[in-house]
Chain A
Amino acid sequence: MKSREVTSHWDLIIRSKSSVFDLDFKSIWKYRDLIMLFVRRDFVANYKQTILGPLWHFIQPLITTGIYLLVFTKIAKIPTDGINSVLFYMSGITLWNYFSSCLTGTSNTFGSNAGIFGKVYFPRLVSPISSIISNLMKFGIQFLMLVLMMICFSVFKGEPFYLGLSWLLIIPLLIVMAVLGLGLGIIISSLTTKYRDFAVLIGFGVQLLMYATPVVYPLSFIADKSYKFLIVINPLTYLMEAFRFAIFHHGILSIYLIYSLGFTCVMLIMGLIMFNKVERTFMDTV
Chain B
Amino acid sequence: MDEVVIRVENVSKQYRLGQVGTGTMSHDLNRWWHSIRGKEDPYLLVGEENDRTVTGKSDYVWSLRDINFEIKRGEVLGIIGKNGAGKSTLLKILSRVTQPTTGNLFIKGRIASLLEVGTGFHPELSGRENVFLNGAILGMSKKEIRSKFDEIIDFSGVERYIDTPVKRYSSGMYVRLAFAVAAHLEPEILIVDEVLAVGDAEFQKKCLGKMSYVAGQGRTVLFVSHNLSAVQTLCTRAILLNKGSVRIDSTVERALDEYGSMDAKKYSERFWEKESAPAFHDKIVRLHSIRVLNKEGQVKNLFDVKDSITIEAGYWVMEEKYSLNVHLYIKNNVGQTLFVSMDNLDSPWKDKKQPPGLYLVRCEVPPNFLNEGIIKIEYLICLNPHTGMNVCVDDAVTFQVIDDKNTNGVRGNWQLPWPSAQIRPRLEWKIERVQNS
Residues of A at the B interface (CB closer than 8 Å) are: 6-7, 9-16, 18, 31, 33-34, 37-38, 40-41, 44-45, 48-49, 115-122, 194-195, 280-281, 283-285
Contact = CB atoms under 8 A, between A and B. Distances in A.
A11 B107 contact: yes
B97 A118 contact: yes
Given A120-B116, A195-B25, A41 B122 contact: yes
A33 B120 contact: no
Given A16-B100, A116-B119, A33 B93 contact: no
Nearest to B138: A120
A124 to B, nearest CB: 10
Nearest to A113: B120
B141 interface: yes
B104 A15 contact: yes
Interface in B62-114: 92-93, 95-111, 113
Most chain A CB neighbours (cut-off 10 Å) among B11, B125, B137: B137
B95 A120 contact: yes
Contacts of B132: 37
Contact of B136 (A11, A16, A37, A48): A37
B163 interface: no
Given A48-B124, A122-B137, A117 B97 contact: yes
B129 A41 contact: yes
A14 B20 contact: no
A121 B15 CA distance: 20
B133 interface: yes
A9 B5 CA distance: 10
A41 B103 CA distance: 38
Contact of A34 (B16, B92, B136): B136
**When A and B form their complex, which 3 residue pairs have the shortest distance between CB atoms, in order from nearest?**
A121-B96, A280-B99, A34-B136
A192 to B, nearest CB: 12
Contacts of B133: 37-38, 41
Given A11-B110, A16-B102, 20 more contacts: A11-B107, A11-B108, A13-B104, A13-B107, A14-B93, A14-B99, A14-B100, A16-B11, A31-B136, A33-B136, A37-B132, A41-B133, A45-B124, A48-B124, A48-B125, A115-B119, A116-B137, A119-B115, A120-B116, A194-B20
A14 B139 CA distance: 18
Given A10-B108, A119-B119, A121-B95, A16 B103 contact: yes
Contacts of B367: none
B97 A120 contact: yes
B426 interface: no
Contacts of A120: 95, 97, 113, 116, 119-120, 137-138
B17 to A, nearest CB: 11
B304 to A, nearest CB: 36
Contact of B120 (A9, A18, A40, A116): A116
Nearest to B111: A12
B119 A283 contact: no
B20 A285 contact: yes
Contact of A119 (B11, B97, B139): B97
Nearest to A27: B139
Contact of B124 (A31, A44, A280, A283): A44
Contacts of B139: 31, 122
Given A44-B129, A284-B98, A13 B105 contact: yes
A130 to B, nearest CB: 11
B70 to A, nearest CB: 12
A45 B122 contact: yes
Contacts of A12: 96, 105-108, 111
Contact of B125 (A13, A16, A41, A119): A41
Nearest to A46: B124
Nearest to A42: B122
A273 to B, nearest CB: 15
A10 B107 contact: yes
Most chain A CB neighbours (cut-off 10 Å) among B20, B102, B106: B106
Nearest to A15: B104
A225 B28 CA distance: 43
A16 B97 contact: no
Interface string B138-176: 110110000000000000000000000100000000000
B120 to A, nearest CB: 5
B143 to A, nearest CB: 8
A41 B133 CA distance: 8
A9 B119 contact: no
B58 interface: no
29 contacts: A10-B106, A11-B108, A11-B110, A12-B96, A13-B105, A13-B107, A14-B93, A14-B104, A16-B101, A31-B139, A33-B136, A33-B141, A38-B133, A41-B125, A41-B133, A44-B129, A45-B124, A45-B125, A48-B165, A49-B124, A116-B119, A118-B97, A119-B97, A120-B95, A121-B95, A122-B137, A194-B28, A281-B99, A284-B15
A194 B24 contact: yes
B142 A11 contact: no
Contacts of B99: 14, 16, 18, 280-281
B331 to A, nearest CB: 38
A49 B96 CA distance: 36
Contacts of B102: 16
A45 to B, nearest CB: 4
Contacts of A41: 122, 125, 129, 133
A121 to B, nearest CB: 4
A10 B137 CA distance: 22
Contacts of A44: 124-125, 129
Nearest to A120: B116
Given A41-B125, A119-B115, A281 B107 contact: no
Contacts of A119: 97, 115-116, 119
A191 to B, nearest CB: 12
Contacts of A283: 92, 97-98
A275 to B, nearest CB: 14
Contacts of B101: 16
A37 B137 CA distance: 9
Contacts of A115: 119
Contacts of A49: 124
Nearest to A280: B99
Contacts of B108: 9-12
Contacts of B165: 48
Most chain B CB neighbours (cut-off 10 Å) among A11, A45, A121, A283: A121
B97 A14 contact: no
A38 B108 CA distance: 28
Contacts of A37: 132-133, 136, 142
